[in-house]
Structure 1
Amino acid sequence: MGFLLRIAFWFSLVLLVIPFDFGSEQPKAEHVGPIETFLAAREAFVDLTGICERKPDVCEVGKSAMNTVGVRAREAARIAYEVLDENFGETDKATLTGTIKPPSELAPKAPPTADEPAKPSPKPPQS
């Protein structure tokens, strides 16, 4: 929805900048130039940035809404990743054959505590 609003805003600015020759068929209307359009847009932006001072509850609701959108977007991305991985992901043949250890075995182990004796490390297989 926000994307459509931004497109409409920029499209309207482009239409204001492009000069059109209306001819004599339309009555004389006040023409707005690009400089006036820019100044009006800047004033509107300044007014919108000050809304949190005038109405703090609007900003709180906006923050909550953005948080909710972020959480939902993250969850949707996770679900999409899992679906794509199931359908198009390739299995890692190196970990299945044993030539490379899986990530769970590569994780560093915590050093033994004083109560727990140190275990001897396994010896690598000799070829």
Structure 2
Amino acid sequence: MFFLLRIGFWLTIVFLLLPAVTGGPSPHGASGNGEPQVSAVEALSAASSAVADAGGFCERQPQACTIGAGLIAMISERAEAGARFALSYLSEQILEEKRKAATRALGAPTGDTLTTHDLSPNWQGPKLPAALVAPSAPDPAEARPAAPANAVPLPPKRPA
């Protein structure tokens, strides 16, 4: 409400300070030379009487003032409820960010604990000729069918 009054006040000041438009017929009864017939003192007097008249509006129109007061009360209640909702939402978001920061600071895992080192394949040395490799007892669990010479090698088994 006060916002509208401030806007009205400043717009009135701006309109009073704007230069008068000359060259055409004026709807407010300007003289032929472009000067308005109302002086600044008369305009100030009229504005002060309008403000005084607005102060007595509730005495002349009590029903309009009652409805306006109810409307202002309803708007203020809704604004208060909206502000409470926004405040609770923001406080929840801030608390959630604080919890996340505390979890990160304590070093607790955030879900996936594998590092890039864990995900990289094991290193395998170069293939040695069969003559240099000592024969070992064949393990039946690792027995694989012989692959053709141009086949792609299978990846190593991961330990269980």
Does residue 46 (structure 1) correspond to residue 52 (structure 2)? The answer is: yes
Whichever structure has more helix as a proportion of its residues is 1
User: Matched residues, percent identical?
Assistant: 33
Query: 2:75 & 2:20 partners in 1: Cα distance?
Result: 45
Structure 2 counterpart of 1:69, from 52, 71, 75? 75
| Residues 94-122 of structure 1 deviation map (CA, whole Å, 9 limit, x = unaligned) | xxxxxxxxxxxxxxxxxxxxxxxxxxxxx
State the shift of 1:62 in Å.
1.1
Partner of 1:20: 19
State the shift of 1:13 in Å.
2.2
Query: 1:19 & 1:32 partners in 2: Cα distance?
Result: 15
Query: 1:10 & 1:76 partners in 2: Cα distance?
Result: 29
Contact 1:52 1:58 in 2 (8 A): yes
State the shift of 1:85 in Å.
0.9
Equivalent position amino acid for 2:90 in 1: L
- What is the DSSP-based 3-state SS (H/G/I as helix, E as strand, rest coil) of the residue aligned with 2:36? coil
Consecutive unaligned residues of structure 1, counting only runs of 5 or more, are 94-127
More relative contact order in 1 or in 2 (CA 8 Å, sep 6+)?
Answer: 1
Describe the shift of the 1:59–1:88 C-alpha distance in structure 2 as closer, same or farther (beyond 3 A): same
- What is the DSSP-based 3-state SS (H/G/I as helix, E as strand, rest coil) of the residue aligned with 1:44? helix
State the shift of 1:21 in Å.
6.8
Contact 1:13 1:37 in 2 (8 A): no
Contact 1:52 1:59 in 2 (8 A): yes
Describe the shift of the 1:59–1:67 C-alpha distance in structure 2 as closer, same or farther (beyond 3 A): same
Does residue 10 (structure 1) correspond to residue 16 (structure 2)? The answer is: no
Consecutive unaligned residues of structure 2, counting only runs of 5 or more, are 25-31, 103-160
Please provide the CA RMSD for this pair.
2.9
Structure 2 counterpart of 1:60, from 36, 55, 66? 66
Equivalent position amino acid for 1:20 in 2: P
State the shift of 1:66 in Å.
1.1
Describe the shift of the 1:65–1:22 C-alpha distance in structure 2 as closer, same or farther (beyond 3 A): closer
Describe the shift of the 1:66–1:22 C-alpha distance in structure 2 as closer, same or farther (beyond 3 A): closer
| Residues 7-48 of structure 1 deviation map (CA, whole Å, 9 limit, x = unaligned) | 2442232221x263756x454352544333322221111111
Larger radius of gyration: 2
Equivalent position amino acid for 1:12 in 2: T
